[in-house]
Each structure stands twice: as structure tokens, then as C-alpha cells.
């Protein structure tokens, strides 16, 4: 059964006064309105959220949201796949429609993080690691630092290429009113910012963020009755890599990206050459290179060239992260994968405003942990 997306929304990302329950309800309500769907028509509700218990002491968020939105007695479930919880939510929502279990599925992803100190938030995220890694005080940024050093040394890539990713995504974020930062930066600023995990500096990292995003899924048949403007999930794949990061054969290959994108391309009957626009999980600048290589857009060790020659800029051959990416839009863990879906949906139905590019086919790659779990989604504009 064809799966369609008929509505999408996101809240302002950034430092918000609202707590998780209110953030989720805000995106959820806006999505119901955007899709023109009555709450009681929703049959399945998925809530992508990594750690509301650890961050806020609030659990059972799917139940809270179902009640607050009046979608009772819909089946509800919280989806946790760490940073890729949002992508995993898209997978669950797609599955619910494709299997015939639901005819109308609402997905809402959200996280409330900024009330914690940076150290506390980093610790909650670092708790995804194996105890043999955690005891050394490893953090996700330090995995990024080690991987970036290896990549730059092995492929003789210029340090500036990473700064170019940050500059590009900040530039794109200026046109996104919901982004945490709507501010351009320069290569010099990026290269002079404080060191966080050598050789990576402050502007190589996404911020800590509160926010929520939502999407409405239904069958293609039903979508045609409801609206002229919809997108189709034509391919999706999910895969898991090692829990222990140093056990991977090649530190620069994200196995989950390779495998999940292979599945998504196969299902869609498409390849990397067919993509018009993509959202990649730029939690760290280096990840944009590893994903461009993992999804087959660039050969191993060469994706940095695309940042240098403008291929991935908004006016380039393959615009990457027109939303501003996690880098400038922000990264509320459970919301991020859904917000990627929101961006490619808006690009495909022509609702991206000043960020609009010409796109019929779009991909989103949502990475959990340091490539530990990955979901790749391909969406196409309705014919």
C-alpha cells in the first residue's frame, strides 16, 4: 500500500520555556491543522523521544500526548532510537500504513534539553555508549573529534572543508524562521572558535535544543481524496551498526548509513543520482561527509570536495540541509529526524518558502549515536 505524507509542522527550535508535554502538543496540533485531519480520525500515534525520563522525569509521553490531542483511543507508542528516534518514528509510521494496521497515523517527535547544563546533557547522551567506553568519559563530540582527525589525516582533506559545512548550513538556516540560529558565520569564525574535541571546534557542533516536529501519514488513496498536495514515502530503510564504536573495521565508514540507504534505494527503485535535495544528520560537520559517502553521492574520502566546490550549497547540484541542518536549526534529539522529514516534505510540496529548491525526489538520513542506528527515508512529490 502506498504511503503518503499529507501534513507537517514544527515548533520554534531553541531555548523554550515549554516542557516536553507542551512542546509535543504544540507540533501535534499544528500538524492536525496543516493536514486538515480531525483528531478522532487518527488511528496510530507515534512519539519519537529519546530521554524525557532522564531529562525531565516525565515518562509515558505517548499517552500524555494522545490524551492532550484528543486522539483517544488511538494505538500509541513512544519510539526511542536515541538521536535517530525521529527517523525510527517515520519508519514506524510508514509501517503502520503500509501494513494496513492504520489508515491515519500521526508522528510527533520532541525533546526538552536546555534546562540541563551542557555537561549534564552531554552525559545523558553519552550514556548510550558501552560501559567500556563510558568509564573513559567518552562523549559523542569526542568520537567526532577522533573520526575527523582520522578522516583529515588519511584523505588529506583540508580543515577548512569542515568549516565550509558549518558556514553553508548556517547560511541556509537564516531562511528558516524555526531555526535556533538564524545567523551567518564565516570560515574564519568557524576556524577560530574554541576547541571542543580537537581538531573540532565549537562551530563543528550542533547546539543543545528544545523543540518538536510532526508529520501526518495516510494511504495514497486517502491522500488523493483529502488533498492535491502530498508526498509519497517511496523508500525507507533502517540498520544498526556496532554499539562499541572502535570495533568497526573502518572508522570513516558508517555501516548503518550504507545499509539503510541501500534498502531505501532498492525499495524506491532509485539511486543517488536521482536525488534533488537531502537532509543529512550534521550533528557534527564531519558527519555530513561520512553520510554523503555512505549514501553513495561521493566516493570514500572525497565528500569534502563537495563542500569546497559548492555542490552541496543551496544553489548547487545537490543542496544538502536546506533547513539549516542540525547545525543551525538545532538538535532536539527525538524531534530531529521528524524535522528532517518536515523539510523534505515542504520541499516536495512547494511549501519551503525562501528555502525552496526544485525537487521531485528527496532523501533524509537520521543518525543515532555515532552511526549506531540509522534510518534513511526517500520521499517523492505526488504525480
Partner 1 sequence: MTLEAGKCPNGHVSYPTHPRCPECGEPQEETFDFSDQRGEVVTWTKSTATPPGVRQPNTLAIVEFDVDGDVVRALGQVTTEEIETGAEVEPVYVEELRDPDVGLKRENPESQEWGGYRWDPV
Interaction site with partner 1 (CB under 8 A): 54, 118-120, 122-124, 126-127, 130-139, 141-142, 145-147, 149-150, 153, 194-200, 242, 244-247, 251
- With b for 16 or more beta-carbon neighbours within 10 A and e for fewer, the 336-359 pattern comes to bbbbbbbbbbbbbbeebeebeeeb
CA–CA dist 24, 221 (Å, integer): 28
Residues 239, 244, 246: CA angle, nearest 5 degrees: 110
Helix (H) or strand (E) holding 381: strand 373-381
CA–CA dist 294, 235 (Å, integer): 16
CB of 318 to partner 1, least distance (A): 29
In this complex, which beta carbon is closest to partner 1, that of residue 205 or of residue 265?
Answer: 205
In this complex, which beta carbon is closest to partner 1, that of residue 136 or of residue 228?
Answer: 136
The Cβ of residue 72 has, within 10 Å, a number of other Cβ atoms equal to 13
In this complex, which beta carbon is closest to partner 1, that of residue 59 or of residue 242?
Answer: 242
CB of 381 to partner 1, least distance (A): 41
In this complex, which beta carbon is closest to partner 1, that of residue 26 or of residue 139?
Answer: 139
Residue 47 cell numbers, joined: 512519539
Antiparallel, parallel or unpaired: β 104-111 and 361-368: unpaired
CB of 186 to partner 1, least distance (A): 23
CB of 349 to partner 1, least distance (A): 39
CB of 249 to partner 1, least distance (A): 9
Question: How many Cα atoms within 13 Å fall on the side-chain side of residue 277?
Answer: 27
CB of 284 to partner 1, least distance (A): 12
Backbone φ and ψ for 186, nearest 5 degrees, come out as -105, 160
CA–CA dist 300, 296 (Å, integer): 9
Residues 243, 246, 252: CA angle, nearest 5 degrees: 100
User: For 37, left (φ over 0), alpha (ψ -120 to 50), or beta?
Assistant: beta
In this complex, which beta carbon is closest to partner 1, that of residue 104 or of residue 245?
Answer: 245
In this complex, which beta carbon is closest to partner 1, that of residue 140 or of residue 367?
Answer: 140
CB of 202 to partner 1, least distance (A): 9
In this complex, which beta carbon is closest to partner 1, that of residue 95 or of residue 122?
Answer: 122
CB of 78 to partner 1, least distance (A): 20
Residue 197 cell numbers, joined: 574535541
In this complex, which beta carbon is closest to partner 1, that of residue 92 or of residue 133?
Answer: 133
Which candidate, 292, 36, 243, 223, places its Cα nearest to that of 132?
243
In this complex, which beta carbon is closest to partner 1, that of residue 199 or of residue 316?
Answer: 199
Residue 366's DSSP bridge partners are 375
CA–CA dist 283, 207 (Å, integer): 8
In this complex, which beta carbon is closest to partner 1, that of residue 249 or of residue 315?
Answer: 249
CB of 257 to partner 1, least distance (A): 18
Residue 276 cell numbers, joined: 534533488
CB of 191 to partner 1, least distance (A): 16
- With b for 16 or more beta-carbon neighbours within 10 A and e for fewer, the 43-69 pattern comes to bbbbbbbbbbeebbeeeebbebbbeeb
Amino acid at each position: 500500500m502506498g504511503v503518503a505524507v499529507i501534513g507537517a509542522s514544527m515548533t520554534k527550535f531553541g531555548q523554550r520555556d515549554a516542557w516536553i508535554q507542551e512542546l509535543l502538543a504544540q507540533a501535534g496540533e499544528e500538524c492536525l491543522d496543516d493536514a486538515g485531519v480531525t483528531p478522532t480520525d487518527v488511528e496510530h500515534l507515534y512519539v519519537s523521544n529519546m530521554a524525557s525520563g532522564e531529562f525531565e522525569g516525565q515518562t509515558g509521553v505517548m499517552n500524555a500526548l494522545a490524551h492532550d490531542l484528543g486522539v483517544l483511543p488511538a494505538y500509541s507508542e513512544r519510539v526511542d532510537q536515541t538521536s535517530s528516534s525521529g527517523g525510527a518514528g517515520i519508519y514506524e509510521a510508514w509501517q503502520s500504513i503500509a501494513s494496513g494496521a492504520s489508515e491515519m497515523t500521526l508522528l510527533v517527535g520532541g525533546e526538552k534539553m536546555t534546562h540541563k547544563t551542557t555537561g549534564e546533557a552531554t552525559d545523558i547522551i553519552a550514556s548510550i555508549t558501552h560501559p567500556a567506553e563510558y568509564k573513559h568519559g567518552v562523549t559523542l563530540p569526542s568520537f567526532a573529534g577522533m573520526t575527523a582527525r582520522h578522516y583529515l589525516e588519511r584523505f588529506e582533506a583540508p580543515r577548512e572543508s569542515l568549516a565550509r559545512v558549518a558556514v553553508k548550513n548556517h547560511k541556509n538556516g537564516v531562511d528558516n524562521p524555526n531555526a535556533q540560529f538564524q545567523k551567518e558565520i564565516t570560515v574564519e569564525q568557524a576556524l577560530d572558535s574554541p576547541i571542543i574535541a580537537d581538531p573540532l571546534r565549537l562551530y563543528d557542533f550542533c547546539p543543545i535544543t528544545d523543540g518538536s516536529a510532526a508529520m501526518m501519514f495516510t494511504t495514497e488513496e486517502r491522500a488523493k481524496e483529502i488533498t492535491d498536495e502530498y508526498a509519497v514515502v517511496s523508500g525507507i530503510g533502517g540498520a544498526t551498526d556496532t554499539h562499541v564504536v572502535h570495533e568497526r573495521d573502518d572508522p570513516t565508514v558508517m555501516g548503518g548509513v550504507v545499509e539503510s540507504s541501500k534498502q531505501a534505494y532498492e525499495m524506491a527503485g532509485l539511486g543517488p543520482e536521482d536525488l534533488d535535495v537531502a537532509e543529512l544528520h550534521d550533528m557534527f560537520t564531519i558527519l555530513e561527509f561520512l553520510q554523503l559517502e555512505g549514501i553513495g553521492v561521493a566516493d570514500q574520502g572525497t565528500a569534502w570536495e563537495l563542500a569546497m566546490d559548492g555542490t552541496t550549497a543551496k544553489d548547487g547540484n545537490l543542496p544538502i540541509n536546506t533547513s539549516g541542518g542540525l547545525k543551525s536549526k538545532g538538535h532536539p534529539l527525538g524531534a530531529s529526524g521528524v524535522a528532517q522529514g518536515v523539510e523534505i516534505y515542504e520541499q516536495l510540496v512547494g511549501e519551503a518558502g525562501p528555502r525552496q529548491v526544485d525537487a521531485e525526489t528527496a532523501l533524509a538520513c537520521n543518525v543515532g549515536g555515532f552511526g549506531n542506528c540509522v534510518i534513511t527515508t526517500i520521499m517523492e512529490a505526488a504525480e
